[in-house]
Copies of this chain bind each other. A is one copy, B any other.
Amino acid sequence: MNKKELVAGIDIGGTKTALGLIDQQGKIYASTHFSTEDFPNVEDYVEELSNQIEVLFGAFKKDYSLIGIGIGAPNGNFYHGAIEHAPNLAWKGIIPLADMVSKRVNHHVLLTNDAKAAAIGEMIFGGAKGMKNFIEVTVGTGLGSGFVANGELIYGNYGLAGELGHVNVIRDGRLCSCGRKGCLEAYVSKRGMIQTYQELSNQNSNDVSPATIADLANKSDKIALKTFDETGKILGQTLADIVCITEPEAIFIFGGIALAGDLLLNPIRHYMELNLHHIYKGKVKIIPSALPDNTAAILGAAALIWNNG
């Protein structure tokens, strides 16, 4: 009898690592998590991660086979299977994590960054099923993206494609975390939204967050509404340009800030449409991600294996 196949999906975050066992339909059989920060030494981390995978899969060994491990990680490079210079992780330089895990657990391992994993997750399990051309935009602490064209994720020549957050939107604008000025991420991200709210309200209070701004906007607070309008305007204008490049069927908005729903999506739709070249008008949908927020990351990581085999 052929054993049913499962994949381990792993999401590495700066504070937490989540992992799950996932079948080809996106059903999660088991999941767990542990602290990333507890392992400042990457060899120790690989040992812990491998043990966690083995323990998780142990209960399913009899009837299932583990066909691979997909990892989503900050600054993950698909071509190299490596985490490269991730600012929010303790492991510095280039970490060939896919190889390290593969050698330890003797399974096929693929690794990419969080946003590309989300794009593949959207294609395999989410709202982009059957789509050949779409864009996944992840808005949270930063702004990431994954571009799919002709049914394939665009990795680029060195695996560095999809950095939509670092497209210039205002010459000599806000300082970005990358050291340059005026990047999209400096406006459309957690920090960007907070800064916009502070600028509009002339206050520097540190107790604002995208969630509190959304609460205020839902109570018709003008500054909060204006913050969403400005944020959506900058993203919508940028997407109108990006449509000229890959002409997607849809653009999925994913991540913490996207939970604000139409508060954010409606301004994006309005300003994208307003700025689109006439040949694209009415043709590109802005859609919230269909991936469940709390399990999207491990689903996306698992989708890497289901997509690439």
Residues of chain A touching chain B, judged by Cβ–Cβ distance below 8 Å, are: 132-133, 147, 149-150, 152, 154-164, 166-168, 178-180, 237, 240-242, 244-249, 275, 277-280, 283
Q: Distance (Å) between the CB of A258 and the closest chain B CB?
A: 20
Contacts of A162 in B (CB 8 A): 244-245, 247
Known: A149-B154, A178-B277. A161 touches B246 (CB 8 A): yes
What is the CB-to-nearest-CB distance from A284 to chain B, in angstroms, rounded to a whole number? Answer: 8
Please name 7 further chain A to chain B contacts, defined as beta carbons within 8 Å, in addition to the given A156-B246, A156-B248, sorted by A numbering. Answer: A147-B245, A147-B246, A149-B149, A158-B283, A166-B277, A167-B245, A180-B275
- A160, closest chain B residue (CB): B247
Residues in B whose Cβ lies below 8 Å from that of A133: 154, 156-157, 161
Contact of A164 with B247 in the complex, beta carbons under 8 Å = no
Bound Cα distance from A154 to B244, whole angstroms: 11
Chain B residues near A244: list those with CB within 8 A. Answer: 161-164, 166-167
A to B CB contacts below 8 Å, 27 in the list: A132-B157, A133-B156, A133-B161, A147-B245, A147-B246, A149-B149, A149-B154, A149-B156, A150-B152, A150-B155, A154-B246, A154-B247, A156-B247, A157-B248, A158-B247, A159-B247, A160-B283, A162-B244, A164-B245, A167-B245, A168-B237, A168-B240, A168-B275, A178-B278, A180-B277, A242-B245, A246-B246
